[in-house]
Chains A and B, each alone.
Chain A
């Protein structure tokens, strides 16, 4: 039986963070009730097309999935367990923000079968949390983390964000040390750097007017600007992340992801391996049998027409599938496998990408092994530059 990942999107938050460009809004209870009704129906209706699949991972993301009533999540888990071939050792993750889930709620999630929790800490410094517009402080995180352990979660991820406004290299190192010093330490750490995306409050407030964007120049044309660390500091932070986390027994397995042995996030690895996945809920993306689609991002539309929510349906050409196999696979430290490429596309990787591979190898951005290719540390720093070259 082929395997499948399920993504479930919960687009609600207590309040929007300043850097966030994900699909989420602070909606009231009434809208939430309507949304979960539609979501449940969508999941039920889709069971048929997934009946030949074994579901090996579920990821409940947001927004803040732990913000609405926990009972909604429990209901959804019941449907998934009832209508889908959920494998016994499936990885089932829920994203959680400190301050939105108490012990009771966490216990409920655990009892519903959720076995992994991803906590958005972002920073251990309260002033940095404030600057990001987060709703919680460090103490609330500590309570949440302890409660999660208490509730029986033995696979926990902590999200951290580097290159924050005003952050120094030392601040960042302290954040890393803090997370690694938790008792017991988390199994998984995601360490992203802040990117000012369009359509975020940060972008509205500062536009391109941040010091990093301006190449750390002092000029700001009299406007407010975000004192982001300059590019060199930012890279230093990235390199230190790997060193510090390795010291504590974490391995980097993807550009921004680190795990203890055996705790790599299976659901995310599925994305990078171009495995099949189905997304439920507002704006959720799916890839099944070479067809990609995305649900409508309009809440009223979704609530009304959950059964016809799929928009942007796109059948990937063989070339597009090859490209994605390459540029997603290269996000991972292990890179892409030559055998797997051949198995999927019935041709040699070198026939399609030989020139690019040779070029990047010459620039020491990429290494070729017997199994396949992977980016070097230098190549990871310049991953967009490398990946763009794999577009045919």
Chain B
């Protein structure tokens, strides 16, 4: 018998938590993007687990679209990081504080 789906769901929850913690605490824009990827992967893992449990291919189709959107998001995000680095010579998000009241 296969391992229960709950194990993979808990793994997904832990992965999401680690990604969220990294996103909240790290200050480099590049590392923050990687943490977003971690959280997206946690959600993908949950989607696939429920797809297996409920025997529904829609979960896997959703993962497919999440991957496409993640690729687009990384492309634009890294473009923004490069553009900011040209101006600031830094990727730290703490440097971007012009709008601070």
> A and B, one complex?
no
Residues of B within 8 A of A (CB): none
Residues of A within 8 A of B (CB): none
